[in-house]
């Protein structure tokens, strides 16, 4: 059907068109029209969201006779820094009655209806949960890239304003290698890959066998360390097949079965460097139910039924007296570890006790080991604990033949790899 001349004349010319032009699209510019009424509604909602929660919390604190936390922002007689504002925000999120009342219910609904996670948790396929920072550590830029190192240093300085971090893991690792070797032992690094590295098929719809996913700098990192004489034990399988499970469904950590496989393979690497020490050690299977740390990060209601607990069978390691094992400072092996070491050893983590990496390594070696473990900051925390005990006169490196440093591989992209001096107390 042909258009009439009047219809043709009324059609907009290219100059009159309100749609985005090609040049605008190339620059990422998209024109939108918002009525004044809608604009004011959006402004009001934004202002209520920004100011409503802190004002409500101040009222609650004043009614209970407390000093409002907001006043602490100006207690030092200066304008708040970024670090002050971030600390106040964290405190507000943790203490706000409005947040505690609304956030769990809202989170439960958006997770149930839309499959959305939170700022910390990503919802994968079939109920699998993933740590967002772990995904970023795998899919993000290379952690050894000079621009990445400078950006991380700058961002940390802006956030903390008290110290400058060491984002490059190589100097701190090489320093610790020298410290361990000066004590007469050899160092073995044990970086545990992130869940996103080995359970990618539970995160997206990719199918088929594939290699583990690594940060772009990981291969270079391993090569440089091995060239420098550092022994690295990478437990990642060469190929991952759909259906293989190595991590807990709603937790950031490994399954008891894969942890045991890694400890057995690690024992084979370590045993040739040790003297034979016979000790009676046995396993005791125990069933444990847990919700996982990622479920806790979602901050759902206590009555939630959206995420059921997962059942796993751990193998508790017991001595001849049927007692769980403890660190033995007289042993030939020292393990420094983070939450991957503690997950089945520290009962407060919710997955049982006496069945962690240290205990299973002892079992497969057939002799006791010594260990120092802390759940966070695997890049430097256990080295600082080791150095602190040395400064107090307790040398945990004495008599050791092998030192194993276990850390989550995501620390390579996120952690502070500060230099940690090992100093004996004065007079030694």
φ/ψ of 188, rounded to 5, equals: -125, 120
**Residue carrying the six token digits 């020298």:** 178
In the numeric block, which tokens belong to residue 295? Answer: 């479920």
55: nearest Cα among 44, 46, 68: 68
* Phi-psi sector, 391: left (phi>0), alpha (psi -120 to 50), beta: alpha
pLDDT at 349: 95
Q: Residue range 125-146: average pLDDT?
A: 94
Nearest-5° Cα angle at 319, 315 to 320: 130
Rounded Cα–Cα distance for residues 2 and 251 (Å):
65
pLDDT at 332: 96
* Phi-psi sector, 184: left (phi>0), alpha (psi -120 to 50), beta: left
pLDDT at 250: 95
- pLDDT tens digits, one per residue of 226-236: 999 999 999 99
Strand partners, 100: none
pLDDT at 12: 44
Distances (CA, A) of 406 to 98, 231, 240, 257, 423: 40, 12, 22, 18, 22
Q: Residue range 177-203: average pLDDT?
A: 95
In the numeric block, which tokens belong to residue 173? Answer: 């690792």
- Of the candidate ranges 6-10, 152-156, 166-170, 305-309, the one whose mean pLDDT is the lowest: 6-10
pLDDT of 20 strictly over 90 = no
Q: Residue range 109-113: average pLDDT?
A: 67
Q: Is 197 exposed, middle or buried (0-12, 13-18, 19+ CB in 10 A)?
A: buried
Show the 3-state SS of the chain.
Answer: CCCCHHHHHHCCCCCCCCCCCHHHHHCCCCCCCCCHHHHHHHHHHHHHHHHHHHHHHHHHHHHCCCCCHHHHHHCCCCCCCHHHHHHHHHHHHHHCHHHHHHHHHHHHHHHHHHCCCCCCEEECHHHCEEEHHHHHHHHCCCCCCHHHHHHHHHHHHHHHCCCCCCCCHHHHHHHHHHHHHHCCCEEEEEEECCHHHHCHHHCCCCCCCECCCCCCCHHHHHHHHHHCCCEECCCCCCCECCCCCCECCCCCCECHHHHHHHHHHHHHHHHHHCCCCCCCEEEEEEEEEECCHHHHHHCCCCCCCCCCCEEEEEEEEEECCCCECCCCCCCCEEEEECHHHHCCCCHHHCCCCCCCHHHHHHHHHCCCCEEEECCCCCCCHHHHHHHHHHHCCCCCCCCCCEEEEEEECCHHHHCCCCCCCCCCCCCC
Percent of the chain with pLDDT over 90: 57
Instruction: Work out the mean pLDDT of the chain and round it to a whole number.
Output: 83
- Of the candidate ranges 3-7, 157-161, 224-228, 364-368, the one whose mean pLDDT is the lowest: 3-7
Which positions ≥6 away from 2 have C-beta within 8 Å? Answer: none
Confidence of residue 407 (pLDDT cuts 50, 70, 90): very high
pLDDT at 117: 74
Q: Residue range 125-140: average pLDDT?
A: 93
- pLDDT tens digits, one per residue of 340-394: 999 999 999 999 999 999 999 999 999 999 999 999 899 999 999 999 999 999 9
pLDDT of 319 strictly over 80 = yes
pLDDT of 262 strictly over 70 = yes
165: nearest Cα among 373, 380, 336: 380
Q: Residue range 127-148: average pLDDT?
A: 94
Rounded Cα–Cα distance for residues 106 and 103 (Å):
5
pLDDT at 163: 66
380, 415 Cβ separation under 8 angstroms: yes
Q: Residue range 228-246: average pLDDT?
A: 93
Rounded Cα–Cα distance for residues 241 and 238 (Å):
10
């Amino acid at each position: 059907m042909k258009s009439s001349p009047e219809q043709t004349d009324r059609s907009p010319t290219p100059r009159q068109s309100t749609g985005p032009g090609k040049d605008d699209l190339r620059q990422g510019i998209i024109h939108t029209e918002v009525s004044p009424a809608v604009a004011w509604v959006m402004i009001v909602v934004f202002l209520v969201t920004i100011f409503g929660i802190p004002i409500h919390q101040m009222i609650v604190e004043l009614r209970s006779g407390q000093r409002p936390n907001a006043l602490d922002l100006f207690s030092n007689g200066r304008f708040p820094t970024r670090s002050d504002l971030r600390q106040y925000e964290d405190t507000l999120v943790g203490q706000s009655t409005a947040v505690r009342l609304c956030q769990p219910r809202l989170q439960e609904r958006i997770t149930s209806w839309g499959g959305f996670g939170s700022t910390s948790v990503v919802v994968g396929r079939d109920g699998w949960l993933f740590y967002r920072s772990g995904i970023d550590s795998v899919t993000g830029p290379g952690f050894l890239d000079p621009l990445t190192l400078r950006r991380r240093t700058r961002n940390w300085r802006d956030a903390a304003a008290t110290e400058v971090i060491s984002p490059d893991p190589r100097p701190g690792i090489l320093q610790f290698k020298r410290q361990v070797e000066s004590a007469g032992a050899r160092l073995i690094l044990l970086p545990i890959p992130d869940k996103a590295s080995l359970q990618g098929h539970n995160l997206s719809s990719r199918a088929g066998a594939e290699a583990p996913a690594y940060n772009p700098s990981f291969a270079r990192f391993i090569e440089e360390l091995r060239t420098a004489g550092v022994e690295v034990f990478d437990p990642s399988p060469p190929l991952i097949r759909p259906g293989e499970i190595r991590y807990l469904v709603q937790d950031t950590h490994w399954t008891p079965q894969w942890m045991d496989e890694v400890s057995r393979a690690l024992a084979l690497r370590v045993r040739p460097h040790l003297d034979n020490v016979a000790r009676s050690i046995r396993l005791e299977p125990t069933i444990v139910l847990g919700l996982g740390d990622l479920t806790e990060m979602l901050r759902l209601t206590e009555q939630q039924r959206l995420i059921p607990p997962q059942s796993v069978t751990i193998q508790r390691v017991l001595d001849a007296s049927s007692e769980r094992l403890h660190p033995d400072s007289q042993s030939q092996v020292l393990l420094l570890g983070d939450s991957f070491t503690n997950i089945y050893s520290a009962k407060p983590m919710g997955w049982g006790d006496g069945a962690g990496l240290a205990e299973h390594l002892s079992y497969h070696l057939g002799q006791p080991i010594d260990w120092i473990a802390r759940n966070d900051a695997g890049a430097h925390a256990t080295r600082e604990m080791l150095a602190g005990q040395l400064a107090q006169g307790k040398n945990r490196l004495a008599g050791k033949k092998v030192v194993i440093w276990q850390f989550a591989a995501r620390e390579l992209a996120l952690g502070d790899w500060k230099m940690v001096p090992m100093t004996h107390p004065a007079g030694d």
